[in-house]
Structure 1
Amino acid sequence: MPPASAATGRPTKTTTRPRRGEGQWALGYREPLNKNEENKKNDDGLNVRRRIIDVYSKGGFDSIDPADLRGRFRWYGLYTQRAPGIDGGKTAVLEPEELDDRYFMMRIRTDGGQLSVAQLRAIAEVSTAYGRDTADITDRQNVQLHWLRIEDVPALWERIEGVGLSTTEACGDTPRGMLGCPLAGIAEDEVIDSTDDLRRIVEDHIGSPLFSNLPRKFKTAVDGCSVHCTNHEINDLAFVGVVGPDGTPGYDLFVGGGLSTNPMFAQRLGAFVRPDQVSEVWAGVCSIFRDYGYRRLRHRARIKFLVKDWGAAKFREVLEKEYLGYALPDGPEPVLDPGTRRDHVGVHRQKDGRFYVGFTPRVGRVSGTKLGRVADIAEAHGSDRVRTTADQKLVILDITEDRVESVVAALEAEDLLVRPSTFRRQTMACTGIEFCKLAIVETKDRASALIDELERRLPEFTDPLTININGCPNACARTQTADIGFKGQLVTDADGNQVEGFQVHLGGGLGLQAGFGRKVRGLKTTADELPDYVERVLRRFLDQKEDGEVFAAWVARAEEADLK
């Protein structure tokens, strides 16, 4: 199939001679090259919704077609969670049906992290009613529930859709939940308010069959934030706020970022995008991925591999000539903040004179009950706007100055800290073996315990420091771009036993210090030794650092012995 118009999906040039290549549709090869592609060809994932409502919710778990269960369910945010009691050594050994529990994880889209009090309450209610009071804030600004029964999914959808939320394309080979600055429209120092531009993409394209069969997942960020809190460097497509050549705010365009086992930073195309062009340009980039993306091998099916092979110049040329039909002007690069904290934790003034209050759950782990309390606190203090962040945090907007300390006190009474330690503020963890079928080790409880230990052992430590803990090599918790990143694996302890542990990445970062973490040969730690290891390395950093030196800079010059 030839490339398609971004707006219509119709071909814009004649078909080229079919060639197997990487399974690229634009080169004429449409026959599925693996089971995933065959499954998508047989039936669009968007069609599974009616079967969930009409068949599976009534017939129960055993009525679910395996092709839907382990494939198309993802188009509506549903994955089977890991069956309890299966250790990490069996993750890559057992068949999918042996790992499956009869319960589901579900992601609820919160594009741009934007929630009203009514929406937050709806999530809290379905969590307590159907999900055993579970809820996690992810680093994609979504809310993730667990322990869901297929019988309850239609009622859950009815509740959240009644307040304008959705799970459509929250997972699967689709345009997943889109990142946006939680302070869009209210930050004093933002470059551009991206709220409407992000919303337009979602309204125009999410749920469209034009983009419901991509080679793999597609992650978007639309951000006018001055500190770049959505981490544009590691998104498939990112619109980054800049002031254009004529002095009008717009966006710089980045494509091809992503982590996992082959981390790559996004490449800057050098093109300036006006706000009114954002939806069309998004569709053009996504169409290139759909038509030229590599579908033969799943591990090469992300857009970053296409961008790496083509380069930024060719990608921009194809976008403009084959998909947009016009040239984008050259534009300026974004201005990167020299600071190392990209979050929005704490109390800060809005452009309208009111304040926002950013606060920290423990590594994103909350509950329906706790989210209900956040809704109550926001409403009691005159706010109807709560936001999630790309660092597993939350923000309440629109607090008048005289009520700030009351909000802070109410949140901290719920163990939602507004003025946290560095360790509480900047430690993240993925879902881990508790629920994830890909995981090898436990993460959430271990990360929470690590925070407590480091606060006890190093109360004087105040330097910015990110600690990211991941349960497998897939880097959902951004292992490679953390100051200290832990990649879960099985290791051998001092007694020769195989136990849960981590490979260590040191000195990663984004922004002006962008780089993937340093791996020292043989540097691993058991899970039980995690606090001892981090304390040891941080004490060496404190002893050896120069004035103003950040942790990543010290790692780059440190002797290997000091990193062990």
Structure 2
Amino acid sequence: MSTPAARPATRRHHKRPRGEGQWALGYREPLNKNEELKKNDDGLNVRQRIIDIYAKRGFDSIDPADLRGRFRWYGLYTQRKPGIDGGKTAVLEPEELDDRYFMLRVRIDGGRLNVAQLRTIADVSAEYARGTADVTDRQNIQLHWVEIESVPEIWNRLEAVGLTTTEACGDTPRVIIGCPLAGIDADEVIDATPQIRAIADRYIGDPAFSNLPRKFKTAVSGCAAQCTVHEINDVAFVGVVNEQGERGFDLWVGGGLSTNPMFAKRLGAFVRPEQVHEVWAGVCGIFRDYGYRRLRNRARLKFLVSDWGVERFREVLETEYLGYALPDGPEPAAPRGGNRDHVGVHRQKDGNFYVGFAPKVGRLSGELLHRIADIAERHGSDRIRTTVEQKMVILDVAPEKVDSIVAELEAADLQVNPSPFRRGTMACTGIEYCKLAIVETKARAARLIDELERRLPGFSEPLTINVNGCPNSCARIQVADIGLKGQLVLDENGEQVEGFQIHLGGSLGLEKSFGRKVRGLKTTADGLPDYVERVVRNYLKHRNEGETFAQWVRRADEADLS
């Protein structure tokens, strides 16, 4: 008979490792509240309850599991109650942070809008969202102050012009990002518009993919500038030409940022255009079936790819999901030089021009959206695009109308020839509306632009400054020249105030790297303009000829970065 002391040792010796909640391995029991919520009812089913019950009976009638869970499947989040400071973000219960109003995210696959669609969003903004509108770094437009009673009518308006909020949030396939110049850029490798449309039409709103371990981000593009930041998406199809001269796509999987950033990995497979939608479904299916569901902070595809490696991932994709092998293919060519944002006036392959412009940190309004639609229409365009840099582009401008459209846009403070600071600064939603945020972002980033333009009027180098209100990196702080992660810091008087941890020298493209963190390098929000001015002046003083900010940061002394 074993002694009591021996029994625990025996149990330890035979203890099985805890599963990661992978459906394909038989772990079907919900392992956290989110998984339980999704098992109890598909998030797609909440739409009818919103129409039949909640919109008629009001906010107090909403089931909490729908309010803070399934509503996301239709782009709805409760926004932050005004007046709650960042120190309470992680302390208060969700119902204490919730306001009785919603952020509503309009899904814009490929960033493609026409004048009627833009006007509809503008009307919805003016009538139901207090005039708010922000273009995001995933090509969506977000509205705020939306009441539940208004949601069915908003959906009717949007859907009447071909727009949707379906799966704009939640553990679902989010918006499919694409190049705003698809089909018009003379340098593009391939026009990915049909592939984006095929994925969206076949799979968005399909219950087969409406319960994923977490969000699933897609990029499909043949852009020569590689503007869709394929390196940080869960799945990306990047335009390439193989040895036989066929145009298709190189397949990347497992990218993502947040608190544990990872770059996507090439599978080395060549995907023909007609195969893209089924390869996408295969990758998404692997995530659904093998993705880690036990812990939310391990539930992104990047962790599975990191653990499996590309060879196993490709083998499972081909054997279990596609039923055929993909041929090997080439790496993408080096991205076209310069900015990826398509700002400025540039010639299309048909002889017309596109005009890209920079709203300040993506902040717009219903009135401004109407003005953009009017400007486009007056200049003969019915095609407007959003970008992944919180910018917009008007296509199909005749050569003789370029000067006029530039003048009208800039009169509305929509800069076609912006300073590097206006062009390169992005900001997430921040504490103004977001329940996860710790600091304010949009207004602060806008003031930072103004200050830097005043202090450094002759600065002309490309520079990205990404401002985030919390550690989740919605504004991609780790891949910016200057990434600012919101947190509370101590000022010179020992008082706790809003501030930022600083990441320096992040970049994408051929020299991709995550930003460098210098030990203890933080700034108060009030001291942010002084800090950025100082580090930019150090760059100008110590850089080598032709050296970018990110390249300089990698070799700079910490004293010059502080």
TM-score by length of 2: 0.97
What's the secondary structure of 1:40's corresponding residue? helix
Distance 1:74 1:415 in 2: 33
Tell me what 2:434 maps to: 436
Shift in Å, 1:513: 1.8
What's the secondary structure of 2:184's corresponding residue? coil
1:205 maps onto 2:212 in alignment = no
Choose the corresponding residue for 2:24, options 19, 23, 26: 26
CA contact (8 A) 1:186 1:351 kept: yes
What's the secondary structure of 2:354's corresponding residue? strand
Tell me what 2:72 maps to: 74
Tell me what 1:301 maps to: 299
In structure 2, runs of 5+ residues without a counterpart are 1-15
1:427 maps onto 2:425 in alignment = yes
Tell me what 2:233 maps to: 235
Provide, for residues 198-224 of structure 1, a one-character-per-residue CA deviation record: whole Å limited to 9, x for no partner: 100000100000000000000000010
CA contact (8 A) 1:81 1:437 kept: yes
TM-score by length of 1: 0.96
Distance 2:348 2:517 in 1: 41
Alignment of 1:47-446 (within 5 A): 47-337=45-335, 339-446=337-444
Tell me what 2:461 maps to: 463
What's the secondary structure of 1:86's corresponding residue? coil
Tell me what 1:507 maps to: 505
Distance 2:231 2:92 in 1: 35
- Give the 3 Å change call, closer, same or farther, for CA 19–502 of structure 1 in structure 2: closer
Runs of 4+ in 1 over 3 A off after TM superposition: none
What's the secondary structure of 2:502's corresponding residue? strand
Provide, for residues 17-37 of structure 1, a one-character-per-residue CA deviation record: whole Å limited to 9, x for no partner: x99510000001101000000
What's the secondary structure of 2:225's corresponding residue? coil
Residue identity matched to 1:500: E
Distance 1:395 1:504 in 2: 31
CA contact (8 A) 2:224 2:336 kept: no
Shift in Å, 1:528: 0.1
Shift in Å, 1:337: 2.1
Residue identity matched to 1:472: C
- Give the 3 Å change call, closer, same or farther, for CA 19–496 of structure 1 in structure 2: closer
Distance 1:477 1:346 in 2: 22
Distance 1:512 1:25 in 2: 37
Provide, for residues 346-370 of structure 1, a one-character-per-residue CA deviation record: whole Å limited to 9, x for no partner: 0000010000000000000000110
Provide, for residues 133-164 of structure 1, a one-character-per-residue CA deviation record: whole Å limited to 9, x for no partner: 00000000000000000000001000010000
CA contact (8 A) 1:20 1:29 kept: no
Tell me what 1:489 maps to: 487
Shift in Å, 1:512: 1.3
Provide, for residues 34-67 of structure 1, a one-character-per-residue CA deviation record: whole Å limited to 9, x for no partner: 0000000000000000000000000000000000
CA contact (8 A) 1:107 1:144 kept: yes
What's the secondary structure of 2:518's corresponding residue? coil
Distance 1:78 1:19 in 2: 37
Shift in Å, 1:245: 2.8
Tell me what 2:33 maps to: 35
What's the secondary structure of 2:92's corresponding residue? coil
Residue identity matched to 1:556: R
What's the secondary structure of 1:277's corresponding residue? helix
Residue identity matched to 1:331: G
Distance 1:340 1:528 in 2: 32
Distance 2:168 2:334 in 1: 30
Alignment of 1:524-543 (within 5 A): 524-543=522-541
Tell me what 2:552 maps to: 554
Number of equivalences: 547
CA contact (8 A) 1:219 1:235 kept: yes
CA contact (8 A) 1:19 1:28 kept: no
Provide, for residues 493-518 of structure 1, a one-character-per-residue CA deviation record: whole Å limited to 9, x for no partner: 00000000000000000001200000
What's the secondary structure of 2:113's corresponding residue? strand
Distance 1:64 1:220 in 2: 31
Residue identity matched to 1:561: A
Distance 2:548 2:338 in 1: 9
Tell me what 2:42 maps to: 44
Shift in Å, 1:340: 4.9
CA contact (8 A) 1:113 1:179 kept: yes
Shift in Å, 1:341: 1.6
CA contact (8 A) 2:230 2:236 kept: yes
Distance 1:336 1:449 in 2: 35
CA contact (8 A) 2:445 2:467 kept: yes
In structure 1, runs of 5+ residues without a counterpart are 1-17
What's the secondary structure of 1:329's corresponding residue? coil
What's the secondary structure of 2:538's corresponding residue? helix
Distance 2:160 2:486 in 1: 39
Shift in Å, 1:336: 2.0
Shift in Å, 1:244: 1.9
Distance 1:130 1:563 in 2: 45
What's the secondary structure of 1:177's corresponding residue? strand
Provide, for residues 299-347 of structure 1, a one-character-per-residue CA deviation record: whole Å limited to 9, x for no partner: 0000000000000111000000110000000000001226352110000
Percent same amino acid at aligned positions? 75
Residue identity matched to 2:195: D
CA contact (8 A) 2:483 2:504 kept: yes
